[in-house]
Amino acid sequence: MRRIVPIFAAACALLAPPPVLHAQVTSPSGGVSREFRYIMGTSVEVRAYNGDEGTRTVAIAEAFAAIAEVDRLMSNYRNDSELSGVNTRAATEPVTLSAPLFSVIAAAQQVSDRSGGAFDITVGPLVRLWGFHDKKPHLPTDPELQAVKPLVDYRNLLLDEASHTIRFARPGVEIDLGGIAKGFAVELAANVLKRHGLAGFIDAGGNQYMLGLPPGKSSWTVGVRDPDRADGLIGAIDSAAGSVSTSAGYATFLTAGGKRYGHIMDPRGLHPSEACLSVTTIALDGTLADAASTAAFVLGPERGLALIDSFPGMTGLIVYRAADGKVAIAMSKALEGRFHRIAGS
């Protein structure tokens, strides 16, 4: 997968910047430029450090073009996306995939296999059933859940590396890349800045990529939200450059039957997971960091942390509710001394 990313980044650099739905461009003193656009269903910030203003402006536009291309390929909200075409045709015939889409699906399958199915991009039918796709809450009945159960299984995806094709093992399977595509996109955008000789920061909601170092700092600071205080932090991590992915039940949720349900599905139990409050992963590979944070959230603190630590160079911090009702934290040994908990949290 890693060898494909630079090739795709170069291709995206040739694209014209996408239409701006919401943008704010600033170029403060000190060699910093930043821009906001609404894309991939969230507000995305691209911030560039160093270089001259012209270089930063061009790099930011190219970075957004790369993110827009990921959205064009991998969105399941766009009828014209490559992914939508796959979901429509792959049950009846092998479908040839672009290199970027093939690499992301292959990475997803790797995490699915390693997590025992805790991460599964075939959750599409389940996400729709619960009402998360169209934002219309629905509490599924047992017969409804049993009807989608055979469809939610990553082993229903038959990838052929030689021909770069995919085929579904049965009709009704639907891929949803919501737990992995943004991680791929932010790393891609960071590679654009890097190619221009810049440091910077990409923020796409629950996924960020930190490139180089912020001006005047020796490390990045990654805040970890306090799940019991919407505007507060439980602590912060001192981090080197790399990707940060956070999966949290409080980020997106629906309320049905008087209960709040987070959007992260347990593909095995066919219901929203409550095993953790949040999971933050840090790694150079944004795609794997994104998928691993979702899988760890489903697995729970002990098994989730073991999964994170099984990926070379990846670290993680898991916030969960202990048996006594208090907020507890589990973290990779490599983060000990780098995580600073805020007093009283």
pLDDT at 262: 85
Q: Using CB atoms within 10 A of its CB, is residue 328 exposed (0-12), middle (13-18) or buried (19+)?
A: middle
Mean pLDDT over the full length of the chain: 90
Taking residues 109-118, what's their average pLDDT?
98
Q: Percentage of the chain surpassing pLDDT 70?
A: 90
pLDDT at 26: 42
Max intra-chain CA distance, the chain: 61
Check whether 20 has a pLDDT greater than 60.
no
pLDDT at 334: 96
Distance of CA 15 to the CA centre of its chain: 23
pLDDT at 243: 98
Domains of the chain listed by start with CATH number: 82-168 (1.10.3980.10)
Task: List, for residues 167-216, the tens digit of each pLDDT value.
Answer: 999 999 999 999 999 999 999 999 999 999 999 999 998 899 999 999 89
Q: What is the rounded distance in angstroms from the CA atom of residue 93 to the CA atom of residue 70?
A: 24
Query: Which amino acid is located at 196 in the chain?
Result: H
Check whether 29 has a pLDDT greater than 50.
no
Check whether 18 has a pLDDT greater than 70.
no
Which residues are CB-neighbours of 224 under 8 A, at least 6 positions away?
233, 234, 235, 236, 237, 246, 278, 280, 317, 319, 339
Taking residues 26-54, what's their average pLDDT?
87
What is the secondary structure of 107-156 as a DSSP string? HHHHHHHHTTTSS-TT-HHHHHHHTTTTT------HHHHHHHGGG--GGG
Task: List, for residues 119-177, the tens digit of each pLDDT value.
Answer: 999 999 999 999 998 888 889 999 999 999 999 999 999 999 999 999 999 999 999 99
In three-state secondary structure terms, 325 is coil
Taking residues 292-301, what's their average pLDDT?
98
Task: List, for residues 256-284, the tens digit of each pLDDT value.
Answer: 777 888 889 999 999 999 999 999 999 99
